[in-house]
Structure 1
Amino acid sequence: MSSSTFSPRVRREYGLTMLGLAAAAGLLLAAAGQQWATGQLTAPGPVPPVPVALTGADLTGAPSGIGWAGLAGIAGLYATRGWARRLVGALVAAGGVLALSAVWGATRPGALLEAVTENATDAGGAAQVAAAPHLAALGPAMAAGGAVLLVLAGLLAMVRSPAWPGMGTRYDRDAAPRATRAETPADLWKSLDAGDDPTLDAPGDDGRSVNPADPGDATAPASLAARPAESKENL
């Protein structure tokens, strides 16, 4: 089945799902580099508080990892067919759920305070957290949006992907080989390269199939049984 046999609705559905996967992966990868939380560290003495900024990658590595997996899901849906596509869709949806869970767990107040405290410990000395960290909205919102898109795209692929076009459909051939007439050895090789069968009856000039054994053809040679037996005198 060639890609031209798919309805416009199916092709549009397939294209929107692929665009959704690409957008989801882009949001997750971009969110990992965004600033998610800020805090302040203090130290004894006349030292001003030191600001600390934490990105999504500092809090959790799930958005970036699942973002790359989402890009791989695009290739998986394009290259597979049937139940394999449903499996890829299920994995994509599961990745979206995992990303949502990771964003929720990393943005809880306790998790943010723990992350800033670990940063203070890495700084050494007597540095302490001055106040509760402040959560920025952009980075977590981008990650959550990308995760939701992954879930929706994965669920849609699980239900609808067997009807979508794919990499293999453009290379499909008709089950019946085409008939061709090879006049020269060069024509024979060309027909073989094109996937034609030169051994089949090729259509003649009048559109009929040319078959020397066809009894309805006036040019067909008479059967050996129908020929009069030659007398021994002519031998």
Structure 2
Amino acid sequence: MAAGAALLLAAAGRLWVTGELDVPGPVAPSPIHLTGADLTGTPTGVGWAGLAAIAGLYAARGWVRRVIGLLTAAGGALVLTSVWSATRSGALADAVAAHAAAAGGTAQVATEPELGALGPAMAAAGAVALLLSGLLATVRSPAWPGMGTRYDRDAAPRQHQAETPSDLWRSLDAGDDPTLDAPGRTDGRAQGADGSAPEGGTATAPLARRPAEPKENS
């Protein structure tokens, strides 16, 4: 998917069409050059969307990944269609004529525009890569690993007991609470060895009742 998006962005900036404009007067024909972005803006837009889809596949889960894959595959098919339409002989002549009219002169197309092979081939290859990777993501992406849940707001801390000081620091760095299953902790608060609560806390275990002392016989 990254390779396909990069090919589309690179192809949009390459030279696709060369031609000549016949300028009135005793002057030589003026050359004209058109890039892929001059012919169609679809490769550029879909290329940036493909890069965004990569981040979306990492961040999303479940059926959302399937939707992203389908949209990516549809973007690849759209680029193939636009490249085919923009590289036909009639479309090339119209693009050159429109560019000449936009220049504000009276120039006319002197010769048949020539289409370069490298730019359209790069765009077609990038479109096929996006199409195939999008279909693959649609089928397989729900089973792919994604971003961890350690920074999710609703992520519950995992139970892990630290045995050494180094384990304690590693647990804290990983976002775990190493005191969840500490000895004497029964209701979310740690207790001392005698059942008393630490400073600022409350003990959860009930205090043991003292046995009744027998009364002395009078």
Whole-angstrom distance in 2 between the partners of 1:117 and 1:234: 124
Is contact 2:159–2:176 with CA below 8 Å preserved after alignment?
A: no
Is contact 1:59–1:106 with CA below 8 Å preserved after alignment?
A: yes
Instruction: Provide TM-score, normalisation by structure 2.
Output: 0.74
Task: Find the residue that maps to 2:28 and give its secondary structure.
Answer: coil
Whole-angstrom distance in 2 between the partners of 1:199 and 1:55: 65
Shift in alpha-carbon separation, 1:180–1:43, aligned structure 2, 3 A: closer
2:44 is matched with 64
Shift in alpha-carbon separation, 1:159–1:131, aligned structure 2, 3 A: same
User: 2:216 is aligned with what amino acid?
Assistant: E
Task: Find the residue that maps to 2:17 and give its secondary structure.
Answer: strand
Shift in alpha-carbon separation, 1:120–1:224, aligned structure 2, 3 A: closer
Q: CA deviation at 1:171?
A: 6.4
5+ residue gaps in structure 1?
Answer: 1-20, 182-189, 203-210, 213-222
2:29 is matched with 49
Of 60, 64, 67, which aligns to 1:84? 64
Instruction: Provide TM-score, normalisation by structure 1.
Output: 0.69
2:97 is matched with 117
Matched, 1:97 2:73: no
2:214 is matched with 231
Question: Percent of pairs identical after alignment?
Answer: 60
Q: CA deviation at 1:201?
A: 4.0
User: 2:159 is aligned with what amino acid?
Assistant: P
Tell me which moved more, 171-180 or 52-61: 171-180
Task: Find the residue that maps to 1:37 and give its secondary structure.
Answer: strand
Of 11, 28, 39, which aligns to 2:19? 39
Matched, 1:141 2:121: yes
Task: Find the residue that maps to 1:51 and give its secondary structure.
Answer: strand
* Offset from partner CA, 1:11-59 (integer Å, 9 cap, x none): xxxxxxxxxx111111000000111111111123321111111000100
1:11 is matched with none
Is contact 1:29–1:68 with CA below 8 Å preserved after alignment?
A: yes
* Offset from partner CA, 1:164-223 (integer Å, 9 cap, x none): 111126769898623569xxxxxxxx7xx7413446547xxxxxxxx99xxxxxxxxxx9
2:107 is matched with 127
* Offset from partner CA, 1:105-139 (integer Å, 9 cap, x none): 11111110000111221233431111221111000
Shift in alpha-carbon separation, 1:83–1:233, aligned structure 2, 3 A: same
Of 156, 159, 163, which aligns to 2:136? 156
Task: Find the residue that maps to 1:232 and give its secondary structure.
Answer: coil
User: 1:233 is aligned with what amino acid?
Assistant: E
Shift in alpha-carbon separation, 1:109–1:234, aligned structure 2, 3 A: farther
* Offset from partner CA, 1:72-106 (integer Å, 9 cap, x none): 01100111111111111111111111111111111
2:187 is matched with none
